[in-house]
Structure 1
Amino acid sequence: MTKGKKTAKYKYYKVEGDKVVRLKRFCPKCGPGVFLAEHLNRYSCGRCGYMEWKQPAKKEE
């Protein structure tokens, strides 16, 4: 995290009725509580450096 800026945690969760739904994915190496950052073409973990490429959308003709 950058100095002086707080994380907007309300963007990571959504409340549906009585349940809390997570909107972002967890890092498979770090475990629950560490979210993956979503970039244009990949997901990445800022803690351990794990990275997953997004699958390109298939074109239907």
Structure 2
Amino acid sequence: MFLLKDMAPEQLVHAVRTLASVGGVLAPAVGRQAIDSYLAPQGGCDDSGLLPAVG
């Protein structure tokens, strides 16, 4: 179960009931972010965090 802190109380109750009957719940905003990151183009090596070469 992955829920956000700002869920309405009714949504929380629904999520718990769904979890009890189906076994999995994902907040809509989290699901959208997961789908977007999955569909994002996978680039090559991202070297933005590497130190510059010395020499």
Same fold (TM over 0.5): no
Q: Structure 1 or 2: larger helix share?
A: 2
Report the structure number with the largest CA radius of gyration: 2
Normalising TM by the smaller chain, what interval? under 0.3
Q: Name which structure has the greater RCO, CA cutoff 8 Å, separation 6+.
A: 2
